[in-house]
Each structure stands twice: as structure tokens, then as C-alpha cells.
Amino acid sequence: MSNKGHPIADCGLRIADCGGGNPKSGGVALSHLDQDGSARMVDVTQKAETKRRAKARGRITFSSEESWEGLKQGQTKKGDILTVAKIGGIGAAKRTGTLIPLCHPLSLTGIDISFSLDDPSRTVLIESEAHCTGRTGVEMEALTAVAVAALTIYDMCKAVDKGMVISDIRLIEKAGGRSGRWGGNGSSFPSSPSPP
């Protein structure tokens, strides 16, 4: 079967390189591709419901001292920057299944976003943690929360600083599900510690 016209093939990545969603092909199996390389939503019906948790992190760096001072004082013409960014990130996490095409809609049991300011680099560090009990993980919700919180900060400060840079958005930890716990260095851990 020809992959010509397939979006992945068009960007230079052969379906065979990914295993076409088929782990027997010797490639890396991407769960959102079927054996023909077509996009699909993964069926999680048979998976057990477990407690799931994910943490994500990112940053936004200011290029203007004026905008940075406005952030530190907590006010712009649009209001309290970090409070609005937190609300925006939480709201986005709750809508991740709508924003990301093949992402399952989840009933989150908790989502929190925290900010820390690094004055020398004029950077806001953003961290989120999402929780649910379900059949699939909350990694995308945690990542979406960070991304939209950063975008909200940009929106509120862009009048005085259009040179802000959003960067380093990444998953730093996940827990729950069949794959257990994963840390940001790429390491995996068992779901529960082994007995002594």
C-alpha cells in the first residue's frame, strides 16, 4: 500500500520507520497509527482504571525589563498575571480532549499549577501536576496546562514585550497505568517498590 499523500509520509518520515502501528514490523509502534499507517483513537476499553498522575514543566523568558517588573508587581492593564495564567492553564487542562485530536477526554480529579520567578534570567518557571483515575494517562493534560499558562502570560504582557520566548515544555514525571512510573531522565520505575 502506498503512503503517498499520508501526512507522516509527506513530512519525510516513512510509516515503516514507525512500525506503521504494528510492533511486529520491527519499527517503533505508535499507538495512534493502525497497521496501514492511518490515524486512529486508541481503544482503551479493556484497560483497567488506575490512579494516574503526571507532572510537566516549561518556562517563559521576558526580553523587556518593563514587562518583567510589571509581572513581579503582579499587575498589568489586564489584571493579576499569574492568577489569570493559572486559571487559563487549569481550564485548558480540562479541555485537552477537545484541543488534541486523538486525546481521550478525561475526568480530572485534580490539577494544580505553580510558578517560580528567576530574576537574573527574567524567567517564569511553570509546573503543573494533573491527577485522575482512569484507563489512560494525564500527561497531555499536564503539558497542556503548562503551555496555555505560558501563552496566557504572553497574552497579558505582549503589549510591552513581544519578544518573550516560551520554551522547554516537557513531561517530567508520570505514574500509574501498565507502564508504571517514568522520570524525566527517560527512566522507568515499577508501579510499586519491590519488597525488601
Catalytic residues, which ones?
155
* Nearest-10 crossing angle of helices 65-73, 139-157: 110
Buried/exposed code over 123-161 (b: 16+ C-beta within 10 A; e: otherwise):
bbbbbbbbbbebbbbbbbbbbbbbbbbbbbbbebbeebb
Which is it for the CA torsion 114, 119, 121, 122, positive or negative?
positive
- In three-state secondary structure terms, 26 is coil
Which residues does residue 182 pair with via DSSP β-bridges, in sequence order?
174, 188
With a CB cutoff of 8 Å and minimum separation 6, the contacts of 103 are 96, 97, 140
**CB of 41 within 8 A of CB of 97?**
no
Q: How far apart are CA 68 and CA 65, in angstroms?
A: 5
Tell me how far apart the alpha carbons of residues 153 and 124 are, in angstroms, rounded to a whole number: 9
Which amino acid belongs to residue 158? K
